[in-house]
Structure 1
Amino acid sequence: MAAYQIAVIVGSLRQESLNGKFADALVRLARPEFSFKRVQIGDLPLYNQDDDKNQAASVKRLKAEISAAHGVLFVTPEYNRSIPGVLKNAIDHGSRPYGQSVWQGKPAGIIGVSVGAIGTALAQQHLRNILAYLDMPTLGQPEAFVHAGEGLFDAEGKIGPASKEFVQKWLDRYLDWVIKQAA
């Protein structure tokens, strides 16, 4: 069994999501002491504080998977210059009821891919603001705003040669960050 478990949250529900595909390719680059679990967020009900005392099974599952993880990797698109609503909904569920947040202290990494020229820069900045409030130590550098250009993925769905070195350096830095935070 791997020494470190990383929860992976993809901010898109689309079946052919670039960020879902990118998350799958990214974890293939990881060192063997890490394992990754994709956390499902599409089945969560809309957050309603009235439900805090009787949370849905999907909410309890989300919270258990985050609690079990040593770190959280957010792979998110940018919708309307911010994070997708489904991602914010998952974050809100994990932070509630007040004082029982599963996010606190979990080292976070943020990365995303987009066809747009600035990648997911604004979504990542908004997410950083949220994670700071939730007391999640978040990797600051290097930032990674990945453009979904030709060659990002090879024929097997792996990170293509033009982007592999950059993505590998980012991932290695994040994984080192998780180890440092766990110490």
Structure 2
Amino acid sequence: MSVRILALVGSVRAGSHNRQLAEAAVKLAPAGTEVQLFEGLAEIPFYNEDIDVEGSVPAAALRLREAAGEAGALLLFTPEYNGTIPAVLKNAIDWLSRPYGAGAISGKPVAVVGTALGQYGGVWAHDDTRKSVGVAGGKVVEDIKLSIPGSATRFGATHPADDAEVAAQLTEVVAHLQGQVGEAAAA
């Protein structure tokens, strides 16, 4: 069985280290798993029930929902902005949580990882993201945790895919998430 994991990146910056982590996950995905990097989170308008009406949902939000609906799991990569989740990622979670009780992530395994400049690697943002995903209906995979500190130093000259320790950790994360998809399907 082939597994598709949708990767969302909470930073839209061109040189984002979290985007580089997501690119590494795409490259390092084990056989039988495809990690699909979603493009276009910055194009999605802020969630508003007035525009979330069948037949007039913004195209970018619809694309996100469709991509999540086709995925077996989601892998969220997030930095930490002012001690919490970047707005672009929180907005994506809000769109994916609707319609209430039947959103595109409802019951799907979701893991949260990332890197940040600080000494803890963004753990506050990762914890807040897990909380938001759980409230939105996703099945948070609590035992997948990867918070890489010192992003500017660690990845200043080295792409995460070329960092042996990070590559091994990411490969393990994707493989574990792949297993969660199998468990969810069997349940």
What's the TM-score once normalised by structure 1's chain length? 0.89
Give the aligned partner of residue 42 of structure 1. Answer: 42
Where 1:49 maps in the other structure, the secondary structure is coil
1:175 aligned residue: 178
- The verdict on how the C-alpha distance between 1:65 and 1:161 changes in structure 2, with shifts beyond 3 A counting, is same
Q: CA deviation at 1:153?
A: 8.0
Paired AA for residue 61 in structure 1: R
- Distance in 1, Cα, partners of 2:83 & 2:148: 15
Aligned residues of 2:111 and 2:144 also touching (Cα < 8 A) = no
Deviation at 1:101, TM superposition (A): 1.0
CA shift, 1:150, in A, is 4.6
Distance 2:96 2:159 in 1: 34
1:28: Cα distance to partner?
A: 1.6
Q: Which amino acid is the alignment partner of residue 90 of structure 1?
A: A
For residues 125 and 80 of structure 1, the distance between their equivalents in structure 2, rounded to whole angstroms, comes to 14
Displacement of 1:48: 1.2
- 1:7 counterpart = 2:6: yes
SS of corresponding position for 1:140: strand
Which structure has greater helix proportion?
2
Per the alignment, residue 22 of structure 2 pairs with 23
- Aligned partner of 1:134: which letter? A
Q: Give the SS at the match of 1:144.
A: strand
Q: Which deviates the most, 134-143 or 86-95?
A: 134-143
Cα distance in 2, alignment partners of residues 33 and 130 from structure 1: 29
Query: What count of residue pairs does the alignment treat as equivalent?
Result: 182
User: What secondary structure, in the 3-state scheme, does the structure 2 residue paired with 1:138 have?
Assistant: strand
TM-score by length of 2: 0.87
Distance in 2, matches of 1:61 and 1:170, equals 25
Distance 2:104 2:165 in 1: 37
Q: Residues 111-159 of structure 1, C-alpha deviation per residue, up to 9 Å, x if partnerless?
A: 0011210101000111111122122112212421112265558756624
Higher mean displacement: 52-61 or 117-126 = 52-61
CA–CA distance in structure 1, aligned partners of residues 173 and 161 of structure 2 = 16
Q: Kindly provide the amino acid, as one letter, of the partner of residue 73 in structure 1.
A: L
Partner of 2:105 in structure 1?
103
Which amino acid counterpart does residue 8 of structure 2 have in structure 1? Answer: I
Question: 1:52 maps to what in 2?
Answer: 52
Q: Matched residues in 1 for 2:101 and 2:144: separation?
A: 31
Tell me the residue number matched to 1:114: 116
- Aligned equivalent of 2:163: 160
Percent sequence identity over matched residues? 29
Q: Distance in 2 between matches of 1:141 and 1:81?
A: 22
Give 2:146's aligned residue: 144
Segments of structure 2 that go 5 or more residues without pairing to the other structure are none
